[in-house]
Amino acid sequence: MKNMFAISLYLALTMAACPPTLNNGLIGIKDFGDNPGNLNGYYYVPEELPAGAPLVVVLHGCSQDAAEMARLSGWNELAADHGFVVLYPQQKRTNNLNKCYNWFVPEDISKGSGEARSIQQMMLHLVKELSLDSSRVYVTGISAGGAMAAVMLATYPEDFRAGAVMSGIPYAAASDLSTGLKAMRGEVTLSAEEWEARVRH
């Protein structure tokens, strides 16, 4: 009986130490930093990965998760065809009931803090652990993920070669939920110079 308990305990501890793997080949990231934004993260590595491969960061929309984003977007198939790694940060419902990234919360979009910092930590962790090319890191996202992609490009421009925002919101278009809703309705209009000033802050 004691042996069975010891074996069960060993297996439980071993499994807890291993990053979880989803049935679509996504691998969970563990111990990537202090994670100030309290996000989860998953990544996909194709079977044949060339040395010094690129990394693409893909950010999901509201009510989605990493697995759904991978399935709907086709990024894993592109990664397998072209030899790069895909990182899928994932929002938690405890941070946002609709599982949206908090692109309208100043603490989550500022350099060195919140969700943006957590995403950067995941990215830097994978570049180091998988020996990826730090000069070929890209970011994209849709909807709330598109807004967070804009956040990443504005906050950590030195970390990205390029990015693509799909159906997103400009960086710093809002400072709380109320102004976030206005931005989503197209009620926040600024000149190009004013948007630039917000990015350069």
Helix H or strand E encompassing 56: strand 55-59
- Single-letter residue type at 188: V
Q: Which residue ranges make up each domain of the chain?
A: 20-200
Alpha helices, DSSP H, located in 46-103:
66-73, 75-82
- List strands edge to edge, sheet with 162-166: 27-28, 40-44, 85-90, 55-59, 137-142, 162-166
Is residue 47 within 8 A of residue 77, CB to CB? The reply is no
Q: Residue 153: pLDDT above 60?
A: yes
Give catalytic residue positions: 143
Q: Residue 15: pLDDT above 90?
A: no
Distance CA 190, CA 49 (A): 44
- Single-letter residue type at 169: I
pLDDT tens for 80-126 read 999 999 999 999 999 999 999 999 999 999 999 999 999 999 999 99
20-200 carries CATH number 3.30.1490.20: no
pTM of the model: 0.88
- Spatial CB neighbours of 43, under 8 Å, sequence gap ≥ 6: 26, 27, 29, 85, 86, 87, 88, 126
- Indicate if the alpha-carbon torsion angle 148, 153, 156, 162 is positive or negative: positive
pLDDT tens for 53-80 read 999 999 999 999 999 999 999 999 999 9
